[in-house]
Chain A
Amino acid sequence: MDFTPTDDQEELRASVRAVLARACPPSAVRHVFEGKDGEYVPSRSGLWKQMVDLDWPALTIPEQFGGIGLGFVELSLVVEELGRVVAPSPFLATVTQFAPLVREVAPADRAEPYLRAIAERGATGTVALAEAPGTWDPGRVTTTARPVDGGWVLDGTKSWVCDGVGADHIAVVARAEHSSGTDGLGVFVVPGDFSPGRVLPVFDPTQPLVELVFDSVMVPADAVLAEPGREGVHASITRALEETTACLAASTCGSCRVIFETTLQYAKDREQYGQPIGSFQALKHRLVEMYLLLERASALSAYAALTIAEDDERRSVAVAMAKAAAGDCQRLLVQDGIQLHGGIGFTWENDLHMFAKRAKTNDFLFGGARTHRAAVARQVGVWT
């Protein structure tokens, strides 16, 4: 039992951090925020190209599919670093959403070309799951899949698809007509350019979200990852979502840690009444509270990563706890991070808002704190 990273894991973290310090400074993130990147397309960004050159997309793809085969703890460390720099890239969508879903739901021969494409040439992917009114619960999917000669036809509307513009592949969760709940779910791959999609207006442009309308979209049989009606599809989707959700929690911890470090430094530097404002007890106690919620979220994030890495039976509740705690963390860190900075904290020119917006966005994606606390309550037996 050891919750601390091994030397190899620390080394991985350090090398990722060093690369990102050069490749993704705040000025680069600001370019995206201010539209100086033109139309920002994650998969065509310079950052993603560098990640591909460094084989980052392959890090956690299994070796049998051309990847490097590192474990989930390593992935968790990498995405935490991405959160630290608010990296605008399709890494999260591709490596923590699309890849796990493909791996979990599809037979190996069907999964292989998609995973190999990520590992070997940096193909990008994402997952189309959520629908209005904003739920990532697969049991509430309404998009339908109808069997036809040679494949399936999809009808429905998906929303909040991460990095849905320019992705090479989109994995769509849909269900057999007349099915409901956990029954009848299937997963299909459509090419990213099947529809232009509608880019949703969001306050964090580094995480583009897209609405996709499926109006009788044909999916050939060889692009079906899991046929509706096959046993265990819901469980497989859930396992994949656990990886996605744990990564979002880790990434939130990364963004929040920067908010904390920045605010702490500001409290030490900024002087009023002839002394650093951080010497006032009112601020000290608030900073300790921020520190506590940050460490609480980080510890649960580490725990969730471990349960997934070792496929422990507690993984489901561990992930829900991690996402809830990450939500609690960003809630306080954004609030007090801005507040304790005073006037400069709510200006556009200070970088703080970029971290705050990413942390907020992460909370809403794949279920917020309240949603995941409800999951914890169900799983630990609070209800009859």
Chain B
Amino acid sequence: MKLSFDETVEEFRAEFIAWLADNRPTAEEMEADPAMSSGHAPGWARRWTRRMFDAGWLVPGWPPERGGRDATPTQQLVYLEEMARAGVPRTTNPQGLGIVAPSILDYGSPEQIENYALPILRGEKSACLGMSEPGAGSDLAGLTTRAVRDGDTFVINGQKLWTSGAGHTEFCFLFCRTDPDAPKHKGISVILVDMNTPGLTVRPVPEIVDPRHAELNEVFLSDVIVPADNLVGTLNNGWAMANGSLAHERGMVWVQSVIELENATRRLLGEAPAMIAALPADEQATAADRIADLYIDAQAARCLGYLGFGKLLKGGSAPEQALMKMFSSETRQQLSLVAAEIQGPEALSPTVNPGVVLPLSTQDPTTWIEQYLRSFGVTISAGSSEIQRNIIADKVLGLPRS
């Protein structure tokens, strides 16, 4: 066991910090033209992605031709931490960079890689993930959006829901049913659909905090015709891709959530002395106790992440990783709530102009209660906390199914 990093990792860190200082987008640039959703890449974001790609800093673990530098997993960890420390978003389209592009690189044809994956990596396109539907949330395999082969095309009909960033993206990585007679996991395929294809419409679904802010969308598909060549991988192999694509950054996804949690913790600690001083004397210790408890949770999340990371590196299984999504999202939620409660009735006033909060933003300008309300997005999406508990009970603890 060791706390410090090897020299080669520290050299890598120093190199990245220096490059970042010279090449990062400025705070003013980002503020002047904020991303409107996780599908939106403003000019600075596109240039930033391209700059990272060219310099091999976009996905450091990949080979240079794909925007990387063959970095080790530990170097990738340090990279993500330093990026967060500098207050720079790695991307404004995390599902494109983290899931869609790598899935196409793994499963797609050379043409798909050229026309869809590489443009994401060069900052030319952004992508959304068409997974959930009104009737297929936690039970994703129950999706009913149909794609029917018709000559050289697929004709797609159906509806997606909770599609992040859909209104700002160039294309969708769409999961649809291609064999209605097969068992539900075995009749699903992935098709790439350009968002400007006739018959495809996007309806924003503003979230709980602000009707002007719509990260989530409904996507309606009515006789949408796409070339059959847009099928990713083989027909009816979509479920493997659903698992594979979600697993792509699974080994590293925890880093983002831990960083986000620590940013929130830092903000809370910054505000804590004044908030506590404003409380009646006999309420102060309780408030301090609750903040300390959440601080410990945040630190525990990082340590759990490191522990699981270490086990994976050694080629073992890492049950800790299964806890990370549930633990970090629930801690984030409690932290916002506790902060608001300590803040008192001032917490009730909404942010005057919340604008848009960047994905993985290091500076969340919204109030604690707004953050609390938005935090349900994380405890519900990508496998709700309840589903996570079932998965851990089954897969990690080996409890029998009922």
Contact = CB atoms under 8 A, between A and B. Distances in A.
Contacts, number: 155
A296 B304 contact: yes
Contact of B393 (A275, A287, A381): A287
Size category, A interface? 35 or more
Size category, B interface? 35 or more
B327 interface: yes
Contact of A300 (B2, B296, B310): B296
A292 B329 CA distance: 13
B86 interface: no
Interface stretch (B29-37, B44-52, B139-147, B271-279): B271-279
Contacts of A110: none
Contact of B292 (A1, A295, A296, A377): A377
Interface stretch (B56-64, B118-126, B155-163, B394-402): B394-402
A279 B394 CA distance: 9
* Secondary structure of the B contact surface, majority rule: helix
Interface in A274-302: 275-276, 278-281, 283-285, 287-288, 291-292, 295-296, 298-300, 302
Contacts of B400: 268, 275-276, 278-279
Given A1-B74, A2-B1, A4-B314, A300 B300 contact: yes
A383 to B, nearest CB: 6
Given A1-B74, A296-B300, A377-B291, A285 B393 contact: yes
Given A73-B1, A299-B304, A376 B393 contact: no
A287 B304 CA distance: 18
A94 interface: no
Nearest to B2: A2
Nearest to A375: B292
Interface in A305-361: 305-307, 309-310, 312, 321, 324-325
B148 interface: no
Nearest to B386: A285
A307 B1 CA distance: 11
Interface in A361-383: 370, 373-374, 376-377, 380-383
Contacts of B299: 300, 303, 321
A305 B396 CA distance: 26
Interface string A155-183: 00000000000000000000000000000
A381 B307 CA distance: 27
Given A2-B310, A268-B398, A300 B1 contact: no
Contact of B303 (A292, A300, A376, A377): A300
A309 B276 CA distance: 35
A230 to B, nearest CB: 31
A307 B303 CA distance: 12
A275 B402 contact: yes
B285 interface: yes
A272 to B, nearest CB: 12
A3 B2 CA distance: 6
25 contacts: A2-B313, A4-B307, A264-B399, A268-B399, A268-B400, A279-B401, A279-B402, A281-B402, A284-B390, A288-B392, A291-B392, A292-B326, A295-B307, A296-B297, A296-B300, A300-B300, A302-B1, A306-B2, A307-B3, A321-B295, A321-B300, A325-B296, A370-B289, A377-B292, A383-B273
Interface of B: 1-5, 9, 74, 77, 269, 272-274, 276-277, 285, 288-289, 291-293, 295-297, 299-300, 303-304, 306-307, 309-311, 313-314, 319-320, 323, 326-327, 386, 389-390, 392-393, 396-402
Given A284-B393, A303-B299, A370-B289, 5 more contacts: A1-B77, A288-B392, A292-B327, A296-B297, A307-B3
In the A-B complex, the 3 residue pairs with the smallest Cβ-Cβ separation, listed nearest first, are A284-B393, A299-B303, A4-B310
